[in-house]
Each structure stands twice: as structure tokens, then as C-alpha cells.
């Protein structure tokens, strides 16, 4: 078996946003490293296809960082991903400041079907407070241009951010919906260690986001988006009918994925180990009880650009037992509005027995899950408690 989805990580941004702890580095637009890195990822795709690590992928996603910062370099990578000929969806993440008409057109011609655009807010003061380098006008231009070219568009938004009010949040949502996007992601601000925001909080210069504000903004988004024909299909994701992101749904349903690039994550079932062993001999043999392996690429971007062979890459490696894999899948199932599937419950029951039924019954009794095992409103709002209780099943 091979990976059925492909993720390419582009760890370059023009500058670092105040809240960001993603694997991305401020990089000059003319830095030759970006082109070399894109070429190295193309080399890795070829090698993974040759070793059988990936075969006929259903979806591909080029994320970051800021893939659109690469300009034409990203077009070549998109063309390489599209050349599998098997993709039902090819997404590129883009930030408004670099999404010109010419680049959008080139991406369309290369086979990209979907753009995920980092709008975050349509209030210039809020954008500046986040350290974003675009303004609302540029974001709307990017959305309108991409829609004109016929892409599926996701607008990515943030709530519970500095300066945001109920009224400015409504303005952002209305402004984005006015462009005709078919998908909206809504993420609350998190204060992550090592970010400019974390330093400002530590220095007493900034407040920690308020849980009440976060819940209120999520509820406001839910009410408005639901009234405009968007269905919430995952805790942070809303889509018009037929426009849910296939790539992200693959992540949440335990489908193997190959992530290439600095910071990219991969996940395989250990039954795929022959292809894994051919591609990554440096990993050694998995433990006898391992059912799943998760890799996070720790290779430095400059090293990767100069030494692209898969056998040269370094990883943080995590092996999961069958029980841990099932607990992980239960957690992921509880993120989605369709809930935990009967087939997954049946597989998990074979391993966890009555403990599973006790856990699910208590989550239903406490109002986190409906009888259908779909998350309730309480389950959406207090997701960490819900996922934490399901993860407790991993240790038996």
C-alpha cells in the first residue's frame, strides 16, 4: 500500500506574523534557496513515486509557510503534483500579498483546483496587530480574482484576535461571503510559545485571548455561515454543498499521507513498511507491536535543498500501537460533524472492549456527543475535553 495523499511544505514567508509558530522562516523574495528547495521537493516526489511510497494520490496540498511567496517556483511543483493524473483535488495555500492575477492564472493552468487564502481579517488594524503584511483591500482583490478564474476558494479567518469586536467580526465574515467563496475556515487565536505574542503576554503588554470571547466568536460565525448555506463539517471548517476539503477529510479518516519538506508530517500504517524501508532506510525496523508510524521531517531547509534524497532526511519518529491508532481515529472522528463511524466503533470495540462503550456512554451522558456519536454544541465548544477523554482509551 502507498500514501494516498501528498503534502508539500514550503517553509518560507516574507516576514513572521506575531502569532505564528508554524515551520516557516522570513526569507527574501530573491533568495535562491527557495528555488533550490522547490527543485528538491520535485526530486523527492519522483523518488517517492519510484519507491512506491506514493501511488495514484487522491489529493495533494501545497502548504506552508507561504507557497505563493515562491512565485513561479510554486507553479512547477503544482505541475509535478498534477502530473500524477489521479488527483481529485489540488490545493495551494496563498497569501493575498503575492496572489497576483498572473500567478493565479498560472496556478489554474498547472492543474490547481483549490486555493486556501490566508485572509484572517478584513479589518486593517486587526491585520496589523497580527503582524500580517496585507490589508483588507488586497485580500478582497485576491479573493475576487481567484473566484473569477474558477478556483474553489477557502478563506481562512481568525477570531478572538486583538482589537476584534462582534461588529468587526461580522464585517469580516460578511465581506468574505460577499465574494462568493465556497469554504471558510475559522481558527481562534492561540498564544504559542516562542512567538512575538507570547513574549508580549509575558511582558504584560498583551492580554491572553478570553475563552468567553472565543466561544462567542465561534458561535457568531456558526450562526452566520449556517444561515448562508454553509455546513460545518469539522470543528473549524465550513463549506457549501460538495465543497468540503477532500485533503483534510483524508487526514481525519486515517488515510495514509506523505508529507515532504522541512516540518512536514507523514503517517503510514506499518503494513506499508516495505515501501517505507526502501525510501527511508535510516528509520530502521518498526517495533513488533507498531500499527502506525508518524514522521515529522526535521531536516534543515538548506540541507534539504542541497541533499534531497529521501534517505538523507531526518525525522522525529513516533510509533503507535493498534490501540493508540484507534484512539487517535476516534478523536479525529469526533472533530467531524458526521461523528465517529459505526465501522470505526466496531474495529475499536474489538480491541478496547467494554472500555470503549463506557467511554462513549459517558461522553453522551455528559453532553459532548449525540447518540449518533456526532459532536454536540458542547462537544464543539469544549473539544479539548472531548478529545482528551477519547485519547485516554489509548492506554487501556
State the residues that interact with ligand SF4 by CB under 6 A.
13, 16-17, 20, 22, 24, 64-66, 95, 118
CA distance 345 to 318: 24
The bridge status of strand 183-188 relative to strand 237-239 is antiparallel
Q: How far is the CB of 195 from ligand SF4 (least distance, A)?
A: 9
Which grid cell is 388? 482528551
Question: Of the two residues 118 and 175, which places its CB atom closer to ligand SF4 in the complex?
Answer: 118
Q: How far is the CB of 11 from ligand SF4 (least distance, A)?
A: 8
Q: How far is the CB of 14 from ligand SF4 (least distance, A)?
A: 8
CA distance 72 to 107: 9
The bridge status of strand 3-10 relative to strand 265-269 is unpaired
Which grid cell is 20? 505564528
Which grid cell is 215? 466561544
C-beta of residue 244 within 8 angstroms of C-beta of residue 238: no
Q: How far is the CB of 194 from ligand SF4 (least distance, A)?
A: 12
Question: Of the two residues 66 and 237, which places its CB atom closer to ligand SF4 in the complex?
Answer: 66
Burial class (CB in 10 A: 0-12, 13-18, 19+), 158: buried
Question: Of the two residues 25 and 311, which places its CB atom closer to ligand SF4 in the complex?
Answer: 25
Q: How far is the CB of 2 from ligand SF4 (least distance, A)?
A: 29
Cα dihedral sign, 79-81-84-88:
negative
Question: Of the two residues 66 and 116, which places its CB atom closer to ligand SF4 in the complex?
Answer: 66
Q: How far is the CB of 184 from ligand SF4 (least distance, A)?
A: 17
Q: Which helix (H) or strand (E) holds 47?
A: helix 32-51
Can you give the length of the chain in residues?
Answer: 396
Q: Which helix (H) or strand (E) holds 101?
A: helix 101-110
Q: How far is the CB of 382 from ligand SF4 (least distance, A)?
A: 26
Q: How far is the CB of 131 from ligand SF4 (least distance, A)?
A: 7
Question: Of the two residues 104 and 325, which places its CB atom closer to ligand SF4 in the complex?
Answer: 104
Question: Of the two residues 66 and 110, which places its CB atom closer to ligand SF4 in the complex?
Answer: 66
Question: Of the two residues 119 and 225, which places its CB atom closer to ligand SF4 in the complex?
Answer: 119
Return the bridge partners of 292, or none: 269, 320
Burial class (CB in 10 A: 0-12, 13-18, 19+), 85: exposed
> What is the secondary structure of 148-180 as a DSSP string?
HTT-EEEEEEEES-TT--HHHHHHHHHHHHTTT
Question: Of the two residues 115 and 381, which places its CB atom closer to ligand SF4 in the complex?
Answer: 115
Q: How far is the CB of 20 from ligand SF4 (least distance, A)?
A: 3
Return the bridge partners of 351, or none: none
Question: Of the two residues 196 and 374, which places its CB atom closer to ligand SF4 in the complex?
Answer: 196
Question: Of the two residues 95 and 116, which places its CB atom closer to ligand SF4 in the complex?
Answer: 95
- Residue 370 three-state SS: coil
Burial class (CB in 10 A: 0-12, 13-18, 19+), 395: exposed
Q: How far is the CB of 196 from ligand SF4 (least distance, A)?
A: 10
At which residue does the C-alpha cell 478572538 appear?
A: 160
Question: Of the two residues 24 and 164, which places its CB atom closer to ligand SF4 in the complex?
Answer: 24
Instruction: Report the 10 Å Cβ neighbour count for 353.
Output: 11
At which residue does the C-alpha cell 456512554 appear?
A: 361
CA distance 389 to 375: 13
Q: How far is the CB of 95 from ligand SF4 (least distance, A)?
A: 5
Amino acid at each position: 500500500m502507498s500514501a494516498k495523499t501528498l503534502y508539500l511544505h514550503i517553509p518560507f514567508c516574507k516576514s513572521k506574523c506575531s502569532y505564528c509558530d508554524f515551520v516557516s522562516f522570513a526569507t527574501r523574495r530573491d533568495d535562491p534557496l527557495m528555488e533550490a528547495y522547490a527543485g528538491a521537493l520535485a526530486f523527492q516526489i519522483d523518488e517517492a513515486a519510484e519507491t512506491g511510497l506514493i501511488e495514484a494520490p487522491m489529493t495533494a496540498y501545497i502548504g506552508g509557510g507561504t507557497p505563493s511567496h515562491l512565485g513561479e517556483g510554486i507553479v512547477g511543483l503544482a505541475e509535478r503534483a498534477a502530473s500524477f493524473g489521479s488527483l481529485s483535488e489540488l490545493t495551494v495555500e496563498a497569501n493575498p500579498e503575492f496572489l497576483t492575477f498572473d500567478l493565479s492564472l498560472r496556478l489554474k493552468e498547472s492543474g490547481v483546483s483549490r486555493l486556501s487564502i490566508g485572509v484572517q481579517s478584513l479589518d486593517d488594524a486587526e491585520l496589523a496587530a497580527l503582524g500580517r503584511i496585507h490589508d483588507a483591500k488586497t485580500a478582497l482583490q485576491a479573493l475576487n480574482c481567484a473566484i473569477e478564474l474558477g478556483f474553489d476558494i477557502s478563506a481562512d479567518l481568525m477570531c478572538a484576535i486583538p482589537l476584534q469586536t462582534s461588529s468587526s467580526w461580522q464585517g469580516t465574515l460578511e465581506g468574505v461571503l460577499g465574494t462568493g467563496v465556497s469554504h471558510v475556515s475559522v481558527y481562534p487565536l492561540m498564544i504559542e510559545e516562542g512567538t512575538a505574542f507570547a513574549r508580549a503576554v509575558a511582558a504584560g503588554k498583551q492580554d491572553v485571548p478570553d475563552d468567553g470571547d472565543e466561544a462567542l466568536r465561534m458561535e457568531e460565525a456558526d450562526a452566520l455561515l449556517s444561515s448562508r448555506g454553509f455546513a460545518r463539517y469539522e470543528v473549524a471548517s465550513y463549506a457549501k454543498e460538495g465543497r468540503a476539503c477532500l485533503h483534510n477529510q483524508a487526514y481525519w479518516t486515517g488515510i495514509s499521507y506523505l508529507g515532504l519538506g522541512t516540518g512536514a508530517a507523514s503517517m503510514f500504517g506499518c503494513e506499508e513498511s516495505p515501501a517505507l524501508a526502501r525510501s527511508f532506510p535510516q528509520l530502521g525496523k518498526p517495533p513488533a507491536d507498531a500499527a502506525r508510524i508518524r514522521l515529522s521531517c526535521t531536516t534543515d531547509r538548506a540541507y534539504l535543498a542541497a541533499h534531497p534524497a529521501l534517505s538523507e532526511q531526518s525525522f522525529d519518529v513516533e510509533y503507535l500501537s493498534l490501540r493508540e491508532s484507534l484512539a487517535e481515529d476516534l478523536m479525529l472522528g469526533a472533530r467531524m460533524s458526521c461523528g465517529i463511524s459505526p465501522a470505526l466503533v466496531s474495529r475499536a470495540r474489538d480491541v478496547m472492549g467494554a472500555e470503549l462503550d463506557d467511554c462513549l456512554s459517558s461522553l453522551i451522558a455528559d453532553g459532548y456527543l449525540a447518540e449518533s456519536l456526532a459532536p454536540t454544541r458542547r462537544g464543539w465548544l469544549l473539544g479539548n475535553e472531548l478529545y482528551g477523554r477519547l485519547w485516554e482509551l489509548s492506554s487501556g
